[in-house]
Structure 1
């Protein structure tokens, strides 16, 4: 028997009750499925699904998030594929959706992430565990005390790429996490992931600069490069997964943000 569900793109699809052959094509959602205890049900993941390590080493890999091995996926006879609007390629997901039930998330905010966790839990017969997980994450963020005076919030430039410099702007999950952590996004006036020149960075006048560990592997040498552009800013290498992964890894984000603020 199947059940009719609606995904976060407002698409209606029929999926099996308690799917037993799941393919996950989004790293943060792969880790969520692991946290929900779906070791046997998840049969394939992408090469970027590095958590948990035992799945990365043992599960079949079916390409990258934006370049999936489509026929290989079909050959596995999945009864559910879990994808994401931003992280996957539209044409590939539409091709798969014509042949296999594909549930797609669309996440910009923390409430979106919590909705995804609860929805996926219901989808894979782990509603109780997922609801408890979402509640723990929500409580951890509710305990962040950021103050009410926006003038006291540090302006943070969060970089995701070099050559060209690219930062997180508004309408991104990273922007949401910056605000949740008690910071002001120095590039909140710009949409999505703008390309920036040195003058743009200088004019933003950030108090702090966060250099993400992903997708670009920023290192110590980049700190010196940026320090010449914004000599007054404090520059820190940060764990990008805790700012951009919207699954069960969020359990650790609030405490990490607190530790970063304590370094101010």
Structure 2
């Protein structure tokens, strides 16, 4: 009998290591796979696209905001992995009627290290989790050196990171995207703006110059598929901002995806 505490402070007591896992968070599904737990994953969401073959070998139980409880129940899971931001409280409470629900809460890179370590303990794959964290630690140190060596004229550029249209929504404060923007030495104009507070505030395009007049406008590939016409529409409300389409997975997926993100960020800096 062992007791574990998830990232919301919930206490869980388990007699045995889990054998049947349902994951309702795409990035955490990828992490479970990278930890060598593929055979124990029985259910995933339709957005769990990495690795791609899981969509044909595992049961799809819905999305992140709407799940099929009957499908999950039929899988007879012994643990369900959720996330505070990705899944609603209503979903979590309903899932608790099926089996224990482990909830992660990832805002900082340290939270990410903690989640990976927790999974190592929870699923008895401590060696694998330590290897991933060691690689991440090394890559993070190297990336910080890369950023430190950037020319002063390219440092501290102001950014608006768009995630949605109709209404327009951006990455604000207290979220993983904002943390990675800061790691890249970008100043998120909505990261500490009292006029547009919140994790993902709605904004008015016509006020973007008053909100901070960004040097760069990042249009994320997810969850909204921005197009060239969107770039033009947003760009004309700025002063002279450069609009860049960015890979949303690299900015918003935590877990082992962060290893790929560091290399992606280096390439991104070479283009702006």
TM tier, shorter chain? over 0.9
Are 1:199 and 2:206 matched, yes or no? yes
Question: Equivalent residue for 2:64?
Answer: 65
Are 1:102 and 2:101 matched, yes or no? yes
Structure 1: unaligned runs, 5 residues or longer: none
Question: Equivalent residue for 2:254?
Answer: 246
Question: Equivalent residue for 1:37?
Answer: 36
Question: Equivalent residue for 1:27?
Answer: 26
Match runs of 1:110-149 below 5 Å? 110-144=109-143, 145-147=146-148
Alignment deviations for residues 117-146 of structure 1 (CA, whole Å, 9 cap, x no partner) = 111122111111111101211221222233
Question: Equivalent residue for 1:187?
Answer: 190
Contact 2:163 2:223 in 1 (8 A): yes
Distance 1:77 1:4 in 2: 22
Distance 2:185 2:110 in 1: 17
Contact 2:209 2:239 in 1 (8 A): no
Alignment deviations for residues 37-93 of structure 1 (CA, whole Å, 9 cap, x no partner) = 112100110111111100022210111111111122112111111111111111121
RMSD between aligned residues = 1.7
Between 1:170-179 and 1:182-191, the stretch displaced more is 182-191
SS in 2 for 1:40: helix
Contact 2:219 2:244 in 1 (8 A): yes
SS in 2 for 1:236: strand
Between 1:206-215 and 1:2-11, the stretch displaced more is 2-11
Contact 2:80 2:100 in 1 (8 A): yes
Are 1:223 and 2:214 matched, yes or no? no
Distance 2:140 2:91 in 1: 35
Are 1:233 and 2:241 matched, yes or no? yes
Distance 2:234 2:208 in 1: 9
Question: Equivalent residue for 2:92?
Answer: 93
Contact 2:30 2:256 in 1 (8 A): yes
Between 1:163-172 and 1:219-228, the stretch displaced more is 219-228
Question: Equivalent residue for 2:172?
Answer: 169
Alignment deviations for residues 99-132 of structure 1 (CA, whole Å, 9 cap, x no partner) = 3111110111110011101111221111111111
Alignment deviations for residues 134-189 of structure 1 (CA, whole Å, 9 cap, x no partner) = 12112212222333979941111100001111110110110001011121111112
Quick one: structure 1 residues 29 and 150, their matched pair in 2 at CA, closer, same or farther if it must change by over 3 Å? farther
Aligned residues: 263
Structure 2: unaligned runs, 5 residues or longer: none
SS in 1 for 2:37: coil
Question: Equivalent residue for 1:11?
Answer: 10
Quick one: structure 1 residues 71 and 15, their matched pair in 2 at CA, closer, same or farther if it must change by over 3 Å? farther
Deviation at 1:219, TM superposition (A): 1.8
